[in-house]
Chain A
Amino acid sequence: MKKPDRERDLIRLRIGMRRHLDEVQRRRARRKRSVQGPARAELPPGARFDEATKRHVIPVPKVLNFLDNRTESLGFMQTFRDAVLRGKQRVLLDFSECTRISPTAMLYLLAEVYRCRHYGNPRLLDGTYPQHERLHRQMQACGFFKLLNISERLPPIKKVYPLEYIKFMTGTKSVGQDADELRTALLGPELRWTRDAGDAVYRGLTEAMTNVVHHAYPEESLRRSIPRLRDRWWMVGHFNEMSKELRILFVDQGVGIPRTVPKKHSIEAIKAALARYGITSPKDGELIQAAMEIGKTKTRLRHQGLGLNDFKRLTDACKGGSLRILSNYGEYRYKYPDEEAVTNYDQSIEGTLIEWWVPLEAIANWTPDHVNDNDSHSV
């Protein structure tokens, strides 16, 4: 009898073990729910039930930010999502104490609100206007109130480019026109990208869309208690006046790159990619890094990789800036020219979020005279 390849089995075991355990836990939870009835989401401290409107009022944390406040930020988003989609509860998001939402958290929040409003009963989720005027303006600019189908209260202001926020965009296909629209809207009619940077923005976004259509929402992932919107992605553009950086953000609510990598690439390719970093027990962050590495090297099906290396092109084209990919429990960061870092967290974002930080050198004709009146916060 042929001896099994021990190393291959060990890698397969490690990669598959957590998925198996996750699946066992999910089945137990499903069995429990089927006995107990629909789950009531555990509401955070500070949440209250409003008898008059029969709604759960959930306060939005003071700061929503995946860098400094990941646990509270994700916890809040997943709580209201579970309450609406699983518990079928009426929820009001109370923004009155919230003062700051980072662009990353803003896009993630938009996507969760979109899912809640479009999958189930749209009347289950509502929100208040923030008291903080700056935040109010940012939320209005990125289309948050329109998404909730509530009126925009602030009068329109003169547009100064680059725009602080452009309205978020969403779709289910790889549409080049959408990528072009985002990069054009962010800079406005006078500013223009350098050729390399403009091409790289288009390439990164269209490849991200293509990846979502191909990999993010396999059929079996759609049947779960928290539904996924098939092939759906969201994106937004942002300009930070303080750091003088453009940010382009893209998110999906799919199964995540760490779960896709073992399905799309051979064990040998994954092992070879991980060996370059001396990794033998990969977690989600390392699997994202492996996916980036595989994109550079030859594989059996090399013409159908995840195309993740296209994401680095923008930082390389600008000779600056950085790329951040958050997927499930992992985070991968790349800073031009060759700095990489990986982090693993206790809480999953349950999807993939790609963030490009782009220096103003990416804009061909920007000068310090293009003063943006917006008073942006950093991060």
Chain B
Amino acid sequence: MTTTATVFSIARDFSRYPAGRFKNDGPWSGEKFRDDYLIDLVKRNGKVVIDLDGTAGYGSSFLEEAFGGLVRKLKLSSKQVEEMIQLRSTDDSLIEEIRQYMQLAATDGK
């Protein structure tokens, strides 16, 4: 039986205007995305596809706190990150940037 990964579109299912690191920074922060959406998605589905397209843009604080923070909070290894999170975007540099944040967070956790 093949498990279909859940696809979560940040623009459609969270906000078109992600910005800021912590919940106190603004209405659609990386921490809010991670704690209120991403962690639950990962825990419930095991594997999730995150569609990054369609937003007004991203800041490094949002991306690092959302994805790097996910790795830190769940104490994931690099291998687990690769298995659980698939990133989808027409901008390859964005995917690479997020991967770096997650890898650094996994390395820092050791």
Q: List 16 A-B contacts (CB under 8 A).
A: A173-B27, A174-B20, A174-B26, A176-B55, A199-B91, A202-B58, A203-B59, A203-B60, A206-B20, A206-B61, A206-B62, A207-B59, A209-B19, A303-B101, A304-B21, A307-B60
The answer to whether A213 has its CB under 8 Å from any CB of chain B is yes
Query: Quick check: B57 and A209 within 8 Å, CB to CB?
Result: no
Interface flags, A240-267, vs B, CB<8A=1, else 0? 0000000000000000000000000000
Interface of A is mostly: helix
Number of interface residues of B (CB under 8 A): 29
Given contacts A303-B64, A303-B101, contact A176 B57 (CB under 8 A): yes
Query: Which residue from A173, A177, A210 sits with its C-beta under 8 Å from B61?
Result: A210
Given contacts A176-B17, A303-B105, contact A214 B25 (CB under 8 A): yes
The 4 closest A-B pairs by CB, nearest first: A202-B57, A176-B17, A174-B20, A176-B19
Q: Could you tell me the distance between the alpha carbons of A198 and B56 in the complex, rounded to whole angstroms?
A: 8
Query: Quick check: A180 and B56 within 8 Å, CB to CB?
Result: yes
Contacts of A175 in B (CB 8 A): 17, 19, 26-27
Contacts of A62 in B (CB 8 A): none
Q: Could you tell me the distance between the alpha carbons of A304 and B65 in the complex, rounded to whole angstroms?
A: 9
Query: Quick check: A176 and B15 within 8 Å, CB to CB?
Result: yes
Q: Could you tell me the distance between the alpha carbons of A214 and B104 in the complex, rounded to whole angstroms?
A: 22
Query: Quick check: A213 and B17 within 8 Å, CB to CB?
Result: no
Query: Quick check: B61 and A307 within 8 Å, CB to CB?
Result: yes
Given contacts A174-B19, A206-B19, A303-B104, contact A179 B57 (CB under 8 A): yes
Query: Quick check: B25 and A176 within 8 Å, CB to CB?
Result: no
Interface flags, B25-46, vs A, CB<8A=1, else 0? 1111100000000000000000
